[in-house]
Structure 1
Amino acid sequence: DLASFQKQASSQVLTSSACYEAFSSMGIEYGEGHRGIQELYVGAGLVLARLSLPSTLSASASRYVLHPSLMDSALQATVGFLLGARGDLSPNPILPFVLQKLEVYQACASEMWAVLRHSEGSQAGGAVEKLDIDLCDEAGRVSVRIKGFTYRALDAKTPSGQEGKNDPLVGKLTLAPVWDVVTPERVPSFPASADRVLVVGGTSEQQRSVRLHLSNVQSLDLQPSDSIAEIGDKLQRLGSFDHIFWIAPERALSSVTNEALVREQEEGVLLLFRTVKALLQAGYESRPLGWTVLTTQAQPLHAQEQVNPTHASLHGLVGSLAKEYPRWKIRLVDLEAGAWPLVDLLQLPSDRRGRSWVYRGGEWHRQQLVLLQAAPADGTLYRQGGVYVVIGGAGRIGEAWTEYMIRRYEAQVVWIGRRQPDASIRAKLEALGRHGKAPHYVAADATDAASLQRARYEIKQRYGRIDGIIHSAMVLQDAGLDRMEEAQFRTGFSAKADVSLRVAQVFRDEPLDFVLFFSSIISFIKNANQSHYAAGCTFMDAFAHQMAREMSCRVKVMNWGYWNAEEIVHSKEGELLSQVGIGFVEPKEAMEAL
């Protein structure tokens, strides 16, 4: 009964402009498409909001059951409780945290009413408030019912001794990457019509398309064998320029065992690395420079999508590049095969964080990490007494995984490492042997197919079978792109990329239970000074996705956060992580997550 609710909530009536001025005072500036509150009625324990879809979005009304603008406006109406309780607002924004249940009865209309009340047992005005929200049409028919919506002010404190218990973003978290359909904010043509543009790569048709839309275009002919000095000479002959249009080669991939996956890095991430080095030597470090970097079908949006992971490595390098050189405006795009939406693409904004735009089926997508609250597993791919091969097993994570498997599953673990077993490795093997079967160590170069094949033969001769493979190899030596040598970049990159390919080539016909890739959250945050590692991890993630489509066994990826280790906790990076509230992964919780 909306008329009855309106009488109950008549103690305070706010106009649309008053509501959005209140949000502005908290530092939240809503754009035109998110200003759906028309009037807000506030009473004792009750808020009533009249909502209307902004006219700029009227054409999209039929596309949604739950229109994002109306739903967001319904949540915005919680500001009525803050105004009703305190009469004013603190400068701290309120943030949504939890939604317990959502029931949908019918699609939202363009004109809606939202009725907000405290959930049963919720404490009004407390640190944590739970609300129930009903969205009704103008006749009072309920379209959507929200139960247990929780919001928090940014500076809200939990009761003493309860830290973290009500806050789902505190504690050990498991996050999952998802791709959302988005409507990009359009910008004037980037590059601008007057900008001098260099086009690198692409087919003759793609280059012709760029020339049709941009007036001042030159081609920069780079070869995979070009050195940094040779690239620098070519750049110098072309004179100054404002924007680089980098188009990664588009080729079909027959299998993840194809040697081209590593060979073609020479015309992809390694050639881009050398180009960046040449630009820095030419003095572009302190100059504004635009980039458009294009790949094709390198990012998987869902489990069934086929990808070519070859140039997924560019997404790691370019992400780090964006953070190291903030004067460079960088736009990174992954297109679907055959698609060339150049007019739309030229209006996409750059991104300081180096995040990817992905184009599929006429829509743009962006990736984010969301909280995963999965039920405890009722089974496992591990087997009691299994034989498992860990490439890079002597590292921190490989060692922790090995101890867990020996203790919990009485496993026989085999480590494959590049170096011969020294005193440090022998001490680790001996210590782990006190928990059960000591790991066996095989010295082999896992970036080399023949060397890894010999290791496989030795393991099969000794143990008769292999039940699972774990790729835990990594080489991380922090350095900015201006200081990183190509050999250093290659070493860090190949520890992830080359080893992934060799695992597929050497173990593809093995009757494995699983292949497990240890990647990193660097795939998503793409830190500065870690471009080699970021490139290797983004390649590995896309490679594992495609490998899962080809192999009969399970293929899994874990993108680890920062592990608790002496060298990181007491470093400058560790101090920074602590300051921004990022904790360190402990072995016990890591094994539970796996």
Structure 2
Amino acid sequence: MAVDVSGVYERLAGVGLEYGPVFRGVRAAWRRGDEVFAEVALAEEQRAEAGRFGLHPALLDAALHTAALGGDDSEQDSSRPDPGLPFVWSGVSLYATGADTLRVRLAPAGPEAVSLLVADTTGAPVASVASLVTRTVSPEQLRAARNVTHDALFHTTWRAVPTQVEAPATTGQWALLGTGSPYVADVGQGGPASPAAYPELADLIQAMNDGIVTPDTVLVFFTADSGARVGDPAEARKMAHRALRVVQEWLAEGQFAGSRLVVVTRGAVAAVPDEDVLDVAAAAVWGLVRSAQAEHPDRFVLVDVDDDTPVSAGVLRAVLECGEPQVAVRSGNVLAPRLARAVAPAEGVESGLVWDSEGTVLLTGATGTLGGL
């Protein structure tokens, strides 16, 4: 028996499931007892994208929408329960890829479960699902979920942490690798607050072997060379390789087991509103050192400074006294990263986020090594 599909998306919207034009793919449907047969298709504008997927997600989703179809309008409006949302998939097989139109059969497969057979327009099999368990969600539950804090969704924010610049320092002996930085005053410039400097970590290790006291804190600056483009890939590779070498040498030397390596960058993170990452090479250093921090707690400290106010040696000591592993100093204020709960915007309020369909998306995790490259 043919089923009128003209109102299926209005019915779904009435129970809180609103679908945009890309996902409104149901074209025709028929019922035979408890079975539903349907034809679903991508919108004309999306058909060129079908080849990018094993099974286009909008097509697969549209195939499930047919579960909301009743035998006639009255049945759809009254006797059928609210459509369920996918919950547990079992026995999923994909036989062909790139389809832009599908023919679908849904049949009961147990309590709150259906099976799917999916074919292309020639009848060749595309996919099958032995069992898809659904869970009914009421319109009230959907509406309530839209405007509440999402307990499982967080974002990073930078918040001020208390520091005492004038308090007596307990950070002990300091040393500096390489030269100083114009962004940090009184360090590496020969002043009374300037620590002893060594060209490389090997030179400091040799000095310790010759009898100097092992420093409690060792500073190293990672800022772009004068005139270097901060987005230059070559500069990023150069700085990351240098950071890797220093980190490996630091961890390999047992005499530094009780010391901290303080990595100072400029513009590696965006820590205040409307701020951009100014130095991509330094950002790469942050990523590398954060990995080292996860494996070796209390051995590294990351400090990012800005152009506005050169950081004094006193502020730098206060940063180390506060015990934060990662800080950003902005206009003299010390900020540390914190997780904050993400809150969905109220209905009718723009989130401020815009999806750039022409941009590049980097997916990491999954199979590892940057998502299998």
TM-score (norm 2): 0.46
Q: Please say which structure displays the higher CA radius of gyration.
A: 2
TM-score (norm 1): 0.31
Question: Quick check: which one's helix share is greater?
Answer: 1
